[in-house]
Amino acid sequence: MIKTLLCIKGSLVDKEGSGAVKLANNVGAFLFDSCTYSGSVREMETVRDPSIVSAVRAMTCYNQEYSHYMVMSGWNYPNDPILHDADTAFNIQIPLKHILNIFNDNPMCTCGRQTMRLVRARNDNDCLIITDETTKAKINITNIELRVNHIFPNNEIKLELMKSIQQDQPIVIPFRKRKLHELPAITKGARREVWAVRTSTSVERQRFFIVFFQTGKRNTITADPTLFDKISIQSIRLSLSGEYWPNERMQLDFSKSDYNEAYFNYTEFYPSSIHSQQKRPLLDFSAFKNRALFVMDCSKQEESMKASTVDVKLDIEAHNGFPENTKAYCIIIHDCVMEYFPLTEIVKSLN
């Protein structure tokens, strides 16, 4: 499944007005409100708002070379996605691992019944960028298909596989889930907001937090939904049941280009998440200013925090009052371990 492609064909229809219409970056993911992958009738991973989650993944995990390769999926940072002007049609191929992290962390071959459930977005406002608000257009999807590689083992390997299947030896599936949380509106004019993100009673260990903001960009046809706002942030501090990350408050000032600490944390995310020394940020220092992503690495926690109830809070401070119509987002990346029993086709969660 790691090489599986979600292929979508569509076109712009019902255009009214003289304004220019172009596809938003990451348009393929913006076509859907949620994406769910199930194995043996057991839900294994669900991504709510896959557009934002995959956009953040691209900005934190892709380099320039891979970003150019992903033009086929509608991701074409820093340029615009390809649209055939002759007939306003498009054809995109999205690797499932762009949306679902299970296929990045667990590249093994799988068997049994597998299901993909896609929920179409309620409108196309985030899929298009239109220069004139009076201009209207819609996207019509003409075809969706899933292209999956199939492996046919030889007789010798079949015998070995049959032995394992008959013994019903469990196959361990470890991966990291990305769960999106949203604060619909930060208090207008306030300079500090304490956001109680969630209370967790599970033993899923939270590894990373990625926080970002948007002011008036979602569901707005004239705005780019993959741009994130700095909103004069001075400090963001994560609290896990009284334990703080970072230990000291940040002292950021984007108006003076003083955001080295935030950019350093961003560049450290990829090597920390894959245990590598290689740094390959997609965003350079200046581009980060218009796509500010605040990363907190809490992967090295005390064992006592793993088996207890954890209160997750974010303390957000700004130099100026928060602007109106500002949303806060938080992506929590946490461990997930499942077991698959090939004979009975049962999937169990181990945490």
CATH number assigned to the domain comprising residue 226 = 2.70.9
Residues 127, 242, single domain; the answer is: no
Residues 134, 189, single domain; the answer is: no
Residues 226, 108, single domain; the answer is: no
Residue 89 falls inside a structural domain: yes
Between helix 260-274 and helix 50-61 the angle, nearest 10°, is 90
Residues 131, 261, single domain; the answer is: no
Cα–Cα distances in Å, from 43 out to 36, 67, 74, 185? 7, 30, 27, 31
Residues 296, 185, single domain; the answer is: yes
Residues 142, 177, single domain; the answer is: no
Residues 52, 146, single domain; the answer is: yes
Residues 305, 213, single domain; the answer is: yes
Residues 180, 316, single domain; the answer is: yes
The structural domain count of the chain equals 2
pLDDT in tens, 255-293: 999 999 999 999 999 888 877 778 888 999 999 998 999
User: Using DSSP, how many helices (H) and how many strands (E) does the chain show?
Assistant: 7, 17
Residues 145, 235, single domain; the answer is: no
Domain span at residue 182? Answer: 173-338
**For residue 82, pLDDT beyond 70:** no
pLDDT in tens, 117-176: 999 999 999 999 888 888 888 999 999 999 988 888 898 888 888 888 888 888 888 899
Arithmetic mean of pLDDT, 163-192:
90
Arithmetic mean of pLDDT, 32-40:
92
Residue 290: what residue type?
Answer: N
Residue 216 falls inside a structural domain: yes
Residues 142, 41, single domain; the answer is: yes
Q: Which of 152, 183, 206 is a domain's end point?
A: 152
Residue 301 falls inside a structural domain: yes
Instruction: Write out the H or E segment, with its range, that includes residue 326.
Output: strand 326-341
Residue 162 falls inside a structural domain: no
